[in-house]
Chains A and B, each alone.
Chain A
């Protein structure tokens, strides 16, 4: 009996150790019927109306359109485009939106992830981000819905709608530094 229990316990441990770290994977966000990574520029104009601004984002030069929206909160919605397809959206709330209020709005099924900027990859005034447990950028991510609350000082800086991860899980700068010259 004891030997059987021991075998069962060891078998259980070996199964646990063999399992990879489970990360919630990203599902493309859907905003008012627009699917990130699928819907087009024309779809965006049809659903959201005439853009308040259409041009290129400062520093990255990416094509964007921005709209005034009221769902799920009032604010400016920036739509990022790539080859005529919506590549991401950020909604900047018009009024201060506290973390607690935002969680009430989007739900408590988030994971908290912190990011830092990869400074050595700064290009034309902006740098990519990477997952960093001690990083200054805090996200509450709803990966199964492709959404994230981007927080700053306890308030929501933006609600992001995406179809892929925000950045790699480690700094590319540290990898570059560790490479032998």
Chain B
């Protein structure tokens, strides 16, 4: 099983060219890669990959098929993850899509890989991000552990 890029809806992900749809966001306010420094001089690490898209325009695609286990505000419109969708593929992989403008799926709904589940936005902590930094914060958990989405998207994962 291989996940698809949540912005392009197709396999594979490349960080560069940064800022273009489907690639890593430019990095104002902190770099967008998994493991990037956060907090007081790197006392925290970024747990997802920030993939650029156009706010209120670009669709967010389901990276894997599965059941929607969460769809709604996680935090608030100006704090935390913002509008978020969480999908459990039932095989040990959970994917999370945050800072959306709006979600198009509901909890309990089954989605197929590549299906549009939300629109890119700037909710949560991304609300005052500079122009050009709009993105989907994409997290991947494999058997309960967060992994680097950039690596995961470019590998065929056997979850058995």
> Which positions in A face B, CB cutoff 8 Å?
53, 55-62, 64, 66, 78, 80, 82, 87-90, 92, 117, 119, 122-129, 136-137, 148, 150, 152, 157-158, 160-162, 164, 166-167
Given A62-B40, A125-B81, also A137-B35 (CB < 8 A): yes
Pair A127/B79 contact, Cβ less than 8 Å: no
Separation in Å of the B16 CB from the closest CB of chain A?
15
Pair B44/A126 contact, Cβ less than 8 Å: yes
> Which positions in B face A, CB cutoff 8 Å?
28-32, 35, 37-48, 50, 75, 79-81, 98, 124-126, 128-130, 133, 137, 139, 145-146
28 interchain pairs (CB within 8 A)?
A53-B28, A58-B32, A59-B137, A60-B30, A60-B38, A60-B44, A61-B79, A62-B40, A64-B30, A88-B41, A89-B41, A117-B146, A122-B47, A124-B81, A124-B124, A124-B125, A125-B47, A125-B81, A125-B139, A126-B38, A126-B45, A126-B47, A127-B47, A129-B42, A137-B35, A150-B37, A162-B41, A167-B43
User: B145 contacts which of A57, A119, A123, A124 (Cβ < 8 Å)?
Assistant: A119
Closest B residue to A136 using CB positions:
B35
Closest A residue to B50 using CB positions:
A58
B-side contacts of A160, CB under 8 Å: 37, 41-42
In whole angstroms, how far apart are the Cα atoms of A27 and B124 in the complex? 35
Given A123-B80, A124-B79, A125-B48, also A56-B38 (CB < 8 A): no
Closest A residue to B138 using CB positions:
A125
Pair B39/A117 contact, Cβ less than 8 Å: no
Separation in Å of the A180 CB from the closest CB of chain B?
21
B-side contacts of A126, CB under 8 Å: 38-39, 44-47
Separation in Å of the A145 CB from the closest CB of chain B?
13
Closest B residue to A64 using CB positions:
B29
A-side contacts of B42, CB under 8 Å: 90, 129, 148, 150, 158, 160, 166
In whole angstroms, how far apart are the Cα atoms of A88 and B31 in the complex? 17
Separation in Å of the A150 CB from the closest CB of chain B?
5
Pair B128/A125 contact, Cβ less than 8 Å: no
In whole angstroms, how far apart are the Cα atoms of A62 and B30 in the complex? 11
Pair A166/B37 contact, Cβ less than 8 Å: no
Greatest chain B CB density within 10 A among A55, A125, A136, A158 is at: A125
Closest B residue to A119 using CB positions:
B146
User: A59 contacts which of B46, B130, B146 (Cβ < 8 Å)?
Assistant: B46
In whole angstroms, how far apart are the Cα atoms of A175 and B70 in the complex? 28
Separation in Å of the A147 CB from the closest CB of chain B?
10
